[in-house]
Copies of this chain bind each other. A is one copy, B any other.
Amino acid sequence: MVVKIDDVARLAGVSKTTVSRVLNNRGYLSDATIKKVHEAMESLNYQPNAVARQLFKKETKLVGLIFPTVDNPFFGQLVAALEKRLFDAGFKVLIGNSMNDPKKEETYLKELISNQVDGLIVGAQNRGIEEYHNTNLPVVAIDRVMNEDIPVIASDNYMGGKLATELLINSGAKNIINTDGPVNLETPAHRRREAYEDVMKEHRLVPHTHIVDFSWDIEKKRSAVEEMFVEYPEVDGVFATNDMDAALIWQVATSLGCQIPKDLKIVGYDGANSTRILLPELTTIEQPVEQMAKVAVKTLVSRIKGDRNIPLEQIIPVKVWNGKSV
């Protein structure tokens, strides 16, 4: 049998109210009582039932995280960073990998709400899910536009796109392709592409975007990349919207006899921890993951505390990771 507050009370010879008081240390308690109760808890190895407490308090100290998948260097690092900050702030993490499946995202959303999470941090791909609106649950979005009153934390995507494109142009590339997901997703990440197009035009170069969807499996992505080289044989520079795509492009290019960076220059985006260890040669735009996590958690916690005076958009500067691919 699991030991509960009554058992402790009985053993300590007090009422359960008193045990609850020492548990939460509030109200007047004599030192003797406190000691007795602590001893009883020790000897019974008592662990309070958080669920019962949650039901009463209407507060779970649980935060839901909805992201595409932690099987990705960027999201893995981001989720780890969020988890760390949330832990320090006293929250546990319920995770939902949406796998870019709107159905799964919606299910998760409903279940997390049903589980009474105190807040949500969302970086999944799919907008337009009704539940995000029909709730006054505190929500923070990372690099996603959810709706008008949900605060967004993002890296400086425009600056990142600009830096990447300039890096390519300055190293002599002229026929530069950008890879990106489909535009129908309204994400701040598309500002990378906007910047790319602006910079290209500034330099009187023609921008081309080739679609590589984040949710495709590896083989589908690989053929999209192969297609890209067929469609644009004159390509001498690529700005990939994430490092996994960049790595794939690198591989395909190499298999086609291209030398990097002599024949083809590549700049990626994300610069996650494990990417920088596994493929440090890739020049990339490093997202400030730790900083984003810090700001996201801070923002969410303020919202949970009832602060209504929260900036709707917080943009965090990026920096360049100098590899050897430009």
Contact = CB atoms under 8 A, between A and B. Distances in A.
A247 B92 contact: no
A274 B114 contact: no
B273 A275 contact: no
A110 interface: yes
B83 A97 contact: yes
A111 interface: yes
A114 B248 contact: no
Interface string A75-93: 0110111011001000011
A183 interface: no
Please classify how large the interface on chain A is, using the bins under 10, 10 to 19, 20 to 34, 35 or more: 35 or more
A55 interface: yes
A55 B50 contact: no
Contacts of A80: 69-71, 97
Contact of A73 (B96, B218, B274): B274
A281 to B, nearest CB: 9
B279 A50 contact: no
A76 B72 contact: yes
Interface centre among A69, A77, A112 (most CB of B within 10 A): A69
Contacts of A45: 134
A99 interface: yes
Contact of A114 (B50, B81, B275, B280): B50
Contact of A278 (B50, B60, B247): B247
A115 B244 contact: no
Given A93-B94, A104-B87, A274 B48 contact: no
Given A52-B55, A83-B95, A247 B115 contact: no
A47 interface: yes
Nearest to A280: B251
Contacts of A33: none
A78 to B, nearest CB: 9
A51 B115 CA distance: 6
Given A51-B54, A84-B99, A93-B94, A71 B60 contact: no
A228 interface: no
A209 interface: no
Interface string A294-308: 000000000000000
A70 B76 contact: yes
B72 A79 contact: no
Contacts of A48: 114
A51, A60, A244, most chain B CB atoms within 10 A: A51
Interface string A104-144: 10000011111110000000000000000010000000000
Nearest to A77: B71
Interface in A213-240: 218
